[in-house]
Amino acid sequence: MHKKTFQKAFRSEINTSIFRKNQRVPKRFLILLFICFFMKLHAQNLRAPAYPLITHDPYFSIWSFADELCASPTRHWTEKPQPLTGILKVDGKPYLFLGEPKDSIAKSQQVSVLVTATQTAYTFNCGAVNLRVTFSSPLLMNELNILSRPVSYITTELVSTDQEKHEVQLYIGVSTMLAVNDPAEEVTAESYKKNQLDILKAGTRTQSVLQKKGDDVRINWGYVYAGVAEQYGCRQYITYDNLVTDFFNRPSFDHNSPVTGKKLLLNTVFPVSSVGIDTVKRFMLIAYDDIFSIEYFSRKLPAWWKKAGATIESEMEKAYRDYAVILHKCNAVDREIYSDALQAGGEKYAHLCGLVYRQAIAAHKLLKSPEGDILFLSKENFSNGSINTVDVTYPSSPLFLAYNPELLKGMLNGIFYYSESGKWQKPFPAHDLGTYPVANGQTYPADMPVEESGNMIILTTAIAEREKNIYYAKKHWKTLSAWAQYLLKEGFDPANQLCTDDFAGHLARNANLSIKAIIALGCYALLAEKMGQKDTAQLYRKSAEKMVVQWMKLADNGDHYTLTFENKGTWSQKYNLAWDRILKLNLFPDSVFAKETNYYKKIQNKYGVPLDSRNTYTKSDWIMWSATLTGNLEDFQALMHPVYMYICETKSRIPVSDWHETITGDKIGMQARSVVGGYFMKVLKKIMVE
């Protein structure tokens, strides 16, 4: 952007800020505004496959699947409609800014969209009024009570474009389809007042709590809530969604609570306001109370936020009361995530990290186990619906290691409990704890012995290194030792078995899986050394070092290393190598890292490096790991950039799919999964090594 153009745009940003025209703007606000404006200016370069709006857990997750917010209905990540509707009436003329187009209502002109870690903000022109709409989901990883609270904000800011005053009305509608799996299910809706809030509430009549499990399903128990400040004087009412009428006049067919039916609408109309040069700001709360969240070894567990006896109304009250403070914290997290990624990998990388942050977190549910441990349980979205899959935890771990290792412990605790309770008796970890949301034991039909053993040992070591103590590893030392013994015997030259890339099928003598086993043994040696078990540490360290020498011979293929041992002409990404440098094990020589990276740059396609020589598809999370193998920023950006282009250009308009075709950019399968937390591997490396 030309300097004068930039200055003009920045002055315009000041004029539309919270300060009045000609009012003196404090210097510290100017600095903050400049940072936010810089992020806004550059974030618009990223076209997301889908835009996160309300993101809390695998059930409460609403997205916009189009470039324009008013081009299509909002949807659950499974692509089923969960409509939100927004209309602004300016001087008597209505403009649609949110939701499915309506023949009788003009579409607003979308000017921009900005995606940051915790927020998605749109700006619109609605005749003589500019509208900014911000969706904020406060996924604050250092404040678990707020992260767990299932309440999002929709904030609207209005300002005149011609310095004249205009009469406006604002409508926001929430479909009760947020609370059903199938639109044919009957719901009951009601309105009431609680504390300082006017509230609309809806849920299914049957309330079959935790009865439905699987992959392509939505929640059909619990209740969705729409809340606004009583002081706004809003009008809230309930209608059927097929009642097409003027939302700003009381419909001829209007329901007050309670109402029973199918596909109801929870309607909120903000009163007439005169909008001029001073920004008029309003916000509302969208919340969901799932009653019980997970069945954990035959015990029904509520969400983390309920552990002290809180109710959804009390949480909504806190969210309302602390609105300004929480939004300030969201802005701080947005700046931190952007800044950390910018410094680690550059501007395009920072855009990617900001986009996937909410997706990675919202594929989990935060709870407290009956034993008092934190649980942060993932769902394999559009993969197989498993809960707490170890080889989903593994790729997603960099984000959580970087910003709160307690959450990673919450991803490991259930697996440790499964083995240590005697419910799982094999000498290696389970693959999963069941099918979401029922965690009563593994339901995946096959084991991944080397994969999951390596994952658990490596991640426990990563926690120790990140926290600079071995308390967590010491707590589980007996179990870790059993898994290390298994890898010492079976890990180096793996038998025919699945790894995390199970869609590619069984594979024997998997060179990348062997790397995982070697690094896990090096990790176990590191932990043993820290625990004062020098003989054990020496045994495992020397074993791992010998394996490296043998690995380099068996996998050598000239300018790269093979997919499987002694299989010339094949290749694969060796993404597991990343931990060797991040955990400072230094088992593999630099030449291995350089050889692999140079080869990836030669063979990559338009949208990334294929996973291996068997196919042209890839996993974008693994590319991000492979891109960190050397300390060279140019190498990282050369491998990262095709992933950025895939995100911007894919025709698959869904929450980011981690499994895509490198030639066409189309998704192969899976979407909205937590594994995109692996995009933060470069950030983690900068924190722990650089």
User: pLDDT tens for residues 496-508?
Assistant: 999 999 898 999 9
* Spatial contact of 664 and 674, defined as CB atoms under 8 Å apart: no
Query: Is residue 261's pLDDT more than 90?
Result: yes
The number of beta carbons lying within 10 Å of the beta carbon of residue 636 is 24
Write the CA distances from 219 to 207, 276, 438, 654, integer angstroms.
10, 43, 13, 19
How is residue 480 written in tokens?
């870790």
**pLDDT for the residue numbered 28:** 44
Query: Is residue 249's pLDDT more than 80?
Result: no
> Of residues 634 and 1, which shows the higher confidence score?
634
* pTM confidence score: 0.93
SS3 395: helix
Q: How far apart are CA 141 and CA 409, in angstroms?
A: 13
Q: Pick the last residue of a domain from 321, 353, 385.
A: 321
Are residue 296 and residue 365 in the same domain, yes or no?
no
Which distant-in-sequence residues (6+ apart) come within 8 Å of 489 by Cβ?
Answer: none
Q: Pick the last residue of a domain from 292, 321, 350.
A: 321
Q: How far apart are CA 680 and CA 55, in angstroms?
A: 19
Task: Please compute the mean of the pLDDT values over residues 58-65 and round it to a whole number.
Answer: 98
Percent of the chain with pLDDT over 90: 88
Are residue 414 and residue 465 in the same domain, yes or no?
yes
Burial 210-234 (b: 16+ CB within 10 A, else e): beebeeebbbbbbbbbbbbbeebeb
Q: How far apart are CA 560 and CA 567, in angstroms?
A: 12
Domain that residue 412 falls in: 331-688
* Spatial contact of 544 and 518, defined as CB atoms under 8 Å apart: yes
- pLDDT band at residue 18 under the 50/70/90 scheme: very low
Are residue 204 and residue 340 in the same domain, yes or no?
no
Per-residue DSSP letters for 614-683?
T-SEEEHHHHHHHTTSSS-HHHHHHHHHHHHHHHHH-S--SS--SEEETTT--EEE--S-GGGGGGGHHH
Flag whether 9 is in a domain. no
Are residue 208 and residue 343 in the same domain, yes or no?
no
> Of residues 558 and 272, which shows the higher confidence score?
558
Are residue 377 and residue 494 in the same domain, yes or no?
yes
Flag whether 4 is in a domain. no
Residue pLDDT, tens place only, 615-636: 999 999 999 999 999 989 999 9
Q: How far apart are CA 627 and CA 398, in angstroms?
A: 14
Task: Please compute the mean of the pLDDT values over residues 550-560 and round it to a whole number.
Answer: 98
* Spatial contact of 519 and 580, defined as CB atoms under 8 Å apart: yes
Are residue 594 and residue 681 in the same domain, yes or no?
yes
Are residue 374 and residue 253 in the same domain, yes or no?
no
How is residue 516 written in tokens?
């995982």
Are residue 351 and residue 446 in the same domain, yes or no?
yes
Flag whether 273 is in a domain. yes
Of 9-13, 138-142, 347-351, where does mean pLDDT reach its minimum? 9-13
Query: Is residue 29's pLDDT more than 90?
Result: no
- pLDDT band at residue 242 under the 50/70/90 scheme: low
Q: In terms of DSSP bridges, do strands 364-368 and 374-378 run parallel, antiparallel, or are they unpaired?
A: antiparallel
Of 79-93, 254-268, 296-310, 504-518, where does mean pLDDT reach its minimum? 254-268
Task: List the one residue out of 509, 506, 544, 510 whose CA is nearest residue 524.
Answer: 544
Q: Pick the last residue of a domain from 259, 288, 321.
A: 321
Flag whether 6 is in a domain. no
Flag whether 625 is in a domain. yes
Are residue 261 and residue 348 in the same domain, yes or no?
no
Flag whether 352 is in a domain. yes
> Of residues 163 and 373, which shows the higher confidence score?
373
* Spatial contact of 117 and 338, defined as CB atoms under 8 Å apart: yes
Q: How far apart are CA 252 and CA 421, in angstroms?
A: 61
Structure-token match 């986009």, residue found: 355
Q: For the chain, give the mean pLDDT.
A: 93
How is residue 260 written in tokens?
């029973």
Q: How far apart are CA 641 and CA 92, in angstroms?
A: 47
* Spatial contact of 110 and 124, defined as CB atoms under 8 Å apart: yes
**pLDDT for the residue numbered 308:** 87
Structure-token match 């709590």, residue found: 209
Per-residue DSSP letters for 99-140?
SS--TTSEEPEEEEEEE-SSEEEEEEEETTEEEEEEEE----
Q: In terms of DSSP bridges, do strands 106-107 and 93-98 run parallel, antiparallel, or are they unpaired?
A: parallel
- pLDDT band at residue 21 under the 50/70/90 scheme: very low
Plot region of 153 (φ>0 → left; ψ -120 to 50 → alpha; else → beta): beta
How is residue 443 written in tokens?
């339901």
Are residue 277 and residue 343 in the same domain, yes or no?
no
Query: Is residue 302's pLDDT more than 80?
Result: yes
- pLDDT band at residue 245 under the 50/70/90 scheme: low
Task: Please compute the mean of the pLDDT values over residues 559-585 and round it to a whole number.
Answer: 98
Structure-token match 């995100």, residue found: 647
Q: What is the CATH number of the domain that holds 313?
A: 2.70.98
* Spatial contact of 429 and 419, defined as CB atoms under 8 Å apart: yes
Are residue 448 and residue 302 in the same domain, yes or no?
no
Flag whether 38 is in a domain. no
Q: How far apart are CA 670 and CA 623, in angstroms?
A: 16
Residue pLDDT, tens place only, 219-230: 999 999 999 999
Distance of CA 71 to the CA centre of its chain: 24
* Spatial contact of 166 and 90, defined as CB atoms under 8 Å apart: yes
Q: What is the CATH number of the domain that holds 528?
A: 1.50.10.10
How is residue 369 written in tokens?
């186990």
Q: What are phi and psi of 387, to 5 degrees?
A: -110, 135
Structure-token match 């690094």, residue found: 519
Flag whether 11 is in a domain. no
Are residue 489 and residue 563 in the same domain, yes or no?
yes
What H or E segment, with its residue span, contains residue 355?
helix 347-362
Task: Please compute the mean of the pLDDT values over residues 246-254 and round it to a whole number.
Answer: 57
Count of domains in the chain? Answer: 2
Task: List the one residue out of 405, 340, 411, 406 whose CA is nearest residue 375.
Answer: 411
Structure-token match 């059993």, residue found: 482
Query: Is residue 16's pLDDT more than 50?
Result: no
Query: Is residue 234's pLDDT more than 70?
Result: yes
Distance of CA 236 to the CA centre of its chain: 32
Plot region of 122 (φ>0 → left; ψ -120 to 50 → alpha; else → beta): beta
